[in-house]
Amino acid sequence: MPAQNLVRDLEILRGKRVAVIAGPVSQEDALYLRTVPRAQWSLTAILEALTDSGVRCEHLDPTAPDFITRITGFDAAFLNVHGPYGEDGRIQGLLDFLSVPYTSSGVLASSVGMDKLVSKAVFAHLGIATPRSSRLLSPKTAAAVAADFPLPAMLKAVDGGSSVGLRLIERTEELVPALTEMTERGFTRCFLEEFITGRAMTISVIPSDEGLLCMPPLEFVTSAAYYDESTKLGGDDAPSIEYRVPDDLPEHTVKEMARGAESLHEFLDCRGAIRVDYMIDADDVPYALETNTIPGLQRHSNLPVSCAEAGISYDELVIGLLAEAVKRATPAPWTVS
């Protein structure tokens, strides 16, 4: 998505009417909208980037009663929704059925990316290291599982996002209360994951005419014990967080992170941008944690920051993702005469 392609991408979008889809479809998005000031919303930044570039666009809330009626009046959709009903393939399938082109991956890649346990199976198939894990079926059986699982460990919701549904378990007796609390919050599928002591990093992949482009890796530097929801979403009492390109990461580690991200993009037939989160252990071995098929797009989010390091501006990123979606649009067969 080089800068010289911006003029061409804008030509592709000429005359198109674009819906920017965002709203409280999940706990993740609802928490984000409550916590983050409107001026800092990714929705605000996306609308500004499109409007400033001359693209006709409008915000559409997918939870509104008239959403399905209204979305069919648009030529393309920019997806800015996360978590269940946003990032798990359901809204993607709806848009496919309605023949509305959209940014981000399709149904299969989205649903796999949203399910952390299924993602781990894919990581293993592709030879990508990932922390050991164990599914927890219920609070009643959790203690027995924890007895055979090394602590500390992370308790995670299978379909959690923005670090929502995430707890560090340091003692066996902490597990059942934590799992009960998560179940009460609506997270019915949870698992324990080996806690990797090390550095939290992420790497993004975006499409281009030349193939996939891997952005520089970013490290999350925080005073928190782990990257929880308050750290990620911010707030007055949140621990500090800084995203930076590490200058001391061995070349073989960066290459393995990039190989993993590119392999996932190709194997799952992803579309648009994806982001893969890793923990780097003391031996500089990267362990994949999850795949994000709709990376955050606040101006200071991981994907825009890493793209800026590669010389790609925020507006170029947004326009490029949208133009790529329009170019690869495939109408439903019954709509073709």
CATH number (domain holding residue 190): 3.30.1490.20
pLDDT value for 139: 81
pLDDT tier at 276 (50, 70, 90 boundaries)? very high
177 and 260 in a single domain? The answer is no
pLDDT tier at 145 (50, 70, 90 boundaries)? confident
118 and 229 in a single domain? The answer is yes
pLDDT tier at 228 (50, 70, 90 boundaries)? low
Question: How far is Cα 262 from Cα 207, in angstroms, rounded to an integer?
Answer: 10
pLDDT higher than threshold 70 for residue 238: no
63 and 78 in a single domain? The answer is yes
88: CATH: 3.40.50.20
pLDDT tier at 20 (50, 70, 90 boundaries)? very high
Q: How many percent of the chain have pLDDT more than 90?
A: 78
pLDDT value for 224: 73
pLDDT higher than threshold 90 for residue 204: yes
202 and 313 in a single domain? The answer is yes
pLDDT value for 336: 73
118 and 145 in a single domain? The answer is no
Q: Which of 171, 194, 217 is the last residue of a domain?
A: 194
- DSSP-based three-state secondary structure for 194: strand
Residue 4 belongs to a domain = no
pLDDT value for 100: 97
234 and 284 in a single domain? The answer is yes
Please state the rounded mean pLDDT for residues 298-311.
96
Reference 294, options 278, 270, 314; nearest CA is 270
Which residue range forms the structural domain that includes residue 308?
A: 111-127+197-320
Which pTM was predicted?
Answer: 0.92
153 and 255 in a single domain? The answer is no
Residue 337 belongs to a domain = no
pLDDT higher than threshold 60 for residue 2: no
220: CATH: 3.30.470.20
